[in-house]
Amino acid sequence: MSPVTSVSRREFLRIVPAAGAGLVLGVRLSAAMNATGPRGRPSALFAPNAFLQVDARGDVTIWASKSEMGQGVRTSLPMIVAEELDADWSRVRVEQAWADPRFGDLDTGGSSSVRTRYEPMRRAGAAARAMLVTAAAQTWGADRSACRTERGAVVHAPTGRRIRYGDLVEKAAALPVPQDAPLKDPKSFRIVGKSLPRTDTPSKVDGSAVYGIDVKVPGMLYAAVARSPVFGGKAKPFDANSAKTSPGVRAVVPISTGVAVVADSTWNALKGRDALRVDWDEGDGAAESSETLRAQFETLSQQPGKIVRDDGDAAAALEKAAKRLEAVYELPFQAHATMEPQNATASWQKDRCEVWAPVQTPSWALADIARAAGLPPGAVRLNITLLGGGFGRRINPDYAVEAVEISKAVTAPVKTVWSRADDLQHDFYRPASFHRIKGGLDVKGRIASWHHRLVSTSIKAYHEPTASDPEEDEIGGARDLPYAVPNVHVEYAAARSIVPRGWWRSVESSFNAFVVESFLDELAAAAHRDPLALRKELLSGGRTIAYPGQTFVQDTTRLKAVVDLAATRAGWGKPLAKGRARGIAAHFSYRTYCAQVAEVSIGKDGALRVHRVVCAVDCGRAIHPGIIAAQMEGGIVFGLSAALKSGITIEKGRVKQANFDEYEVLRIDEMPEVEVHIVPSDQPPTGVGEPGVPVIAPAVCNAIFAATGKRVRRLPVRVEDLVATS
Amino acid sequence: MASFTLTVNGKQVTAEADPATPILWFLRDTLGLTGTKFGCGASLCGACTIHLDGQAIRSCVTPISEAAGKTITTIEGLSADRGHPLQKAWIAEDVPQCGYCQSGMIMTAAALIAVKPKPTDDDIDAALGGHICRCGTYQRIRRAVRRAATGGPR
Ligand code: FES
Ligand code: FES
């Protein structure tokens, strides 16, 4: 349980100086509920951190304590508070919290915002409502139990008298905060569960929404940074005059990530950087390429790795199998390519530093900024702007640190703007992975053995080279294979690479779901089984899969239910237009169950078209069905881009792709018709930002197999993998 | 440096700039009209789309010299009160996710329906095929353009 505390007016004004008076409540999340952010960086904060304020006008302000990157937290989280508060939704305003430990854990990732905030947000709203009811009852000298609330007012049922919340806040604020204010029966919800208009949509259709890149502060200069094209390279001594003579350039300063060219406009900074002549000491990185990495993967996949699951005896069962299959699956590095390139604005002074940045992980950013500024965190104000996409890229705050270093070097406010090439070539990439997977069927055609050896460029090993568990963010979706197979063996090995790695929307599920769901399809074909019927059979029996150190489980009944729902809505087994075929896949990630059926056709020239995707999702209670559907649609597009179009390749230690002509992503003319079906549920809400992503690649590739008999084992799909006659 | 006079969202402005400066940076850095976005700088994503004399153009690759004596409309000037049929449709369909690509999408769609008030799905795809939405709002964009064109959900 998260304690609810009232915050004194004085204390509140210390945190939010511009706020007026009224009833202010904070909810404190327990450390366990707080452990949300990028994995490996748990935070344990005990300050009140879900603020809500009801003022004398009756306006309700809710501080958004998560970064808004398109996933709708500025709508869904306030809805939860407003529901329990019985607020008038038209009077609810949302303000962005900034990185202050007193706001608690603002880190946004792991599809965790609604899941972790649902209960505390409800309790904050319920406590405030109870206090307002008590205040009204005292005003009337009436019995509390005769009072009820209704859209921003307390009503005395017997007499019909009513007082608006705004007129009660002063009295309510003086009352003790109830810790056990009753929560509503979800059956009476009138806000939660509705697809209310998103609070930020109007500002996003008239150009008024302010993203990091839009920030302007008085006296601000603009910077572009030249970075070593080879990862790990360092600038050699350079001639600053080569850039200083470019129009508008004010300074050229070395920083930890390269050489910054500071100018009076973005354009002049970019031009000045083009003019800068700098050579790089490339270091060892230049020896790496996609080919050398592949050779390393190949070698590692032939050797035993670290065993991460071992049920029965997969090797012996394989030996005894009536039919054996072995396959290699490969997936490349991927860039996040948020539409808003990385950027940040910093104003460094001797004793304080203010930063404006689109970050997903304020706690991490704050610590790194303070270090770069040479100031204690308390002297740093980090304002979180809107994010023009996050997808995990903005967990790493490197671009904010750059802005601080530059501002400090020139002692003026500075905005750094990355070009698209900077963004694509200096990302923290989704790991590249390589999978050697074997399966055995017994004489009856049942899957008797599953042996998966997974090799990747570990995220954990990039951030902590000496970590003993480099598999931490690599094995989800492989280790927890949910299908009933008696002998399962999963191994992991980490490959060395100079390429920076990070968390990319759905992290390792983005590759493991592809491998597992594709190989299951291979086994189904080998056993002459319908892929849907086989999945349903292997998910029956109501089993659960546990996760080490976690309290949640994967429930095969719920996974089977989404498989069933997607298949039914897609008309699985019903005849299709000529040339079309269907494929199915399912996956559990971020505590959410998702299944998708893709309908594809392939032209004679190998041109693939994905016509339709039917998506079924069980994410517990649906807070905002419209946002859930949008996240599934968006996740499918993100996954399709990686399945069909994009990939990062390394040549001589550098990224080859520099813009969207080389790093292609899905566009509107390739957009399939997407249908989303949400399983009605009373279970606690779970994540929706990521679970739509991993399922689409295997669903499409399984459909390609159904259409052509060709099995796609490396992504992105290439035309030559599809041509029917080869 | 050279001096250019042009009209931006109904107001006459003078630009003192290197003639090669892309219109995008003049709008954003000089005029503070930040609704027009930078996404690729190479005519590959559409985030920077504005109207130049009514035509949808990519402001990241169009030099300010080309705007001399001409009229620019940006997302901020599309309507006074979000009243353009596309803006209303965008709100009704709750199109934006992160929202970053949406100014460009709306400006291109506005130029499309100005000449083709009842666009087909193929028209919509062709007009917007040069844009990127990394959040994947394409399906809702199609729906919103159709809604604006027909005056109701479709
Ligand atoms: S920024 Fe102009 S097309 Fe991408
Ligand atoms: S809404 Fe985010 S890029 Fe389109």
For residue A456, give Cα distances in angstroms to A372, A436, A475, A642, B116. 32, 12, 10, 17, 50
CATH architecture observed for domain B85-149: Orthogonal Bundle (1.10)
Tell me which of B34, B48, B52 to substitute to probe ligand 1's pocket, judged by most ligand atoms within 8 Å of the beta carbon. B48
Q: For A487-542, where are the alpha helices, taking DSSP H only?
A: 509-526, 531-539
Pairing relationship of beta strands A234-235 and A280-281 according to DSSP bridges: antiparallel
What contacts A606, CB < 8 A, 6 or more positions away? A719, A720, A721, A722, A723, A724
- Asked if B98 and A387 come within 8 Å (Cβ–Cβ), the reply is yes
Q: Which residues of A touch B31 (CB under 8 A)?
A: none
- Asked if B94 and A198 come within 8 Å (Cβ–Cβ), the reply is yes
Task: Quote the percentage of chain A above a pLDDT of 70.
Answer: 92
Provide the mean pLDDT of chain A.
92
> Which ranges in chain A are annotated with CATH 3.30.365.10?
9-206, 212-282+342-417, 290-334+429-723
Chain A, nearest residue to B92 by Cα: A197
Strand, coil or helix: what is B21? coil
CA distance A512 to A520: 12
Q: How confident is the model at residue A363 (pLDDT cuts 50, 70, 90)?
A: confident
Contact with chain A for residue B121, Cβ under 8 A = no
Kindly list the domain boundaries of chain B, sorted by start residue.
2-78, 85-149
Task: Answer whether residue A495 shows pLDDT above 80.
Answer: yes
CATH architecture observed for domain B2-78: Roll (3.10)
CATH number of the domain at A290-334+429-723, please?
3.30.365.10
Query: Residue A329 in contact with residue A713, Cβ under 8 Å?
Result: yes
Between B108 and A180, name the one with better pLDDT: B108
Structure tokens at A598: 């893709």
Q: Using alpha carbons only, how large is chain A's radius of gyration in Å?
A: 27
A477 in the Ramachandran plot: left (φ > 0), alpha (ψ -120 to 50) or beta? left
CA distance B139 to B17: 40
Written in H, E and C, the secondary structure of A37-103 is CCCCCCCCCCCECCCEEECCCCCEEEEECCCCCCCCHHHHHHHHHHHHHCCCHHHEEEEECCECHHH
**For residue A73, which of A100, A113, A43 has the smallest C-alpha distance?**
A113
Q: What is the pTM of this model?
A: 0.95
Choose, out of A394, A615, A668, A696, the residue to mutate when testing the contact with B (most B CBs < 10 Å). A668
**For residue B149, which of B127, B121, B107, B126 has the smallest C-alpha distance?**
B121
CA distance A54 to A61: 6
**Cβ pairs A/B, distance under 8 A:** 180
pLDDT, block means (10 residues), chain B with 154 residues? 95 95 98 98 98 98 97 97 96 97 98 96 97 98 95 67
ipTM of the complex in this document: 0.98
| Mean pLDDT computed over A298-307 | 98
For residue A485, give Cα distances in angstroms to A327, A446, B131. 18, 9, 45
Contact with chain A for residue B19, Cβ under 8 A = no
Please, which residues 326-345 of chain A have a Cβ atom closer than 8 Å to chain B? 337-341
Q: How confident is the model at residue A29 (pLDDT cuts 50, 70, 90)?
A: very low
**What phi and psi values does residue B69 have, to the nearest 5 degrees?**
75, 5
Task: Answer whether residue A49 shows pLDDT above 80.
Answer: no
- Please give the distance, rounded to the nearest whole angstrom, from the Cα atom of residue A634 to the centre of ligand 2: 9
- Asked if B94 and A195 come within 8 Å (Cβ–Cβ), the reply is yes
Structure tokens at A204: 């996003």
Under CATH, what is the fold of the domain A212-282+342-417?
Aldehyde Oxidoreductase; domain 4 (3.30.365)
| Mean pLDDT computed over A270-297 | 97
Please, which residues 191-230 of chain A have a Cβ atom closer than 8 Å to chain B? 195, 197-198, 200-211, 213-214, 216, 222
Structure tokens at A222: 């603009």
Q: How far away is chain A from the Cα of B147, in angstroms, using its nearest Cα?
A: 15
Rounded to 10 deg, the angle between the B102-115 and B121-128 helix axes is 130
Task: Answer whether residue A16 shows pLDDT above 70.
Answer: no
Query: A381: exposed, middle or buried (C-beta count within 10 Å: 0-12, 13-18, 19+)?
Result: middle
Query: Residue A36 in contact with residue A110, Cβ under 8 Å?
Result: yes
CA distance A690 to A73: 14
CA distance A177 to A182: 13
- Say if residue A716 is preceded by a cis peptide, omega within 30 of 0: yes
**What are the E-state strand segments in A220-333?**
221-226, 234-235, 249-255, 258-263, 280-281, 306-311, 323-331
Query: Residue B6 in contact with residue B70, Cβ under 8 Å?
Result: yes
Tell me which of A339, A665, A668 to substitute to probe ligand 2's pocket, judged by most ligand atoms within 8 Å of the beta carbon. A339
Contact with chain B for residue A507, Cβ under 8 A = no
The model's pLDDT over A385-404, given as tens digits with 9 standing for 90+, comes to 999 999 999 999 999 999 99
Q: Tokens 């498989």 correspond to what residue? A: A563
pLDDT the model gives residue A42: 31
Residue A123 amino acid letter: R
Q: How confident is the model at residue A175 (pLDDT cuts 50, 70, 90)?
A: confident
The model's pLDDT over A697-722, given as tens digits with 9 standing for 90+, comes to 999 999 999 999 999 999 999 988 88
CATH architecture observed for domain A9-206: 2-Layer Sandwich (3.30)
Atom of ligand 1 nearest to the CA of B46: 3
Atom 3 of ligand 2, nearest CA residue? B133
CA distance A490 to A558: 24
Q: Tokens 């087909």 correspond to what residue? A: B120
Contact with chain A for residue B18, Cβ under 8 A = yes
Burial A180-200, CB ≥16 within 10 A → b, else e: ebeebeeeebebbbebbebbb
**What phi and psi values does residue B23 have, to the nearest 5 degrees?**
-55, -35
Task: Quote the percentage of chain A above a pLDDT of 90.
Answer: 80
The model's pLDDT over A153-174, given as tens digits with 9 standing for 90+, comes to 999 999 999 999 999 988 988 8
Q: Which residues of A touch B98 (CB under 8 A)?
A: 69-70, 338-340, 386-390
Name every protein residue with a CB atom under 6 angstroms from any ligand 2 atom.
A 70, 339, 389; B 96-102, 133-135, 137
The model's pLDDT over A73-103, given as tens digits with 9 standing for 90+, comes to 889 989 999 999 999 999 998 888 777 766 6
Chain B, nearest residue to A264 by Cα: B29
Chain B, nearest residue to A343 by Cα: B38
| Mean pLDDT computed over A262-278 | 98
CA distance A511 to A533: 24
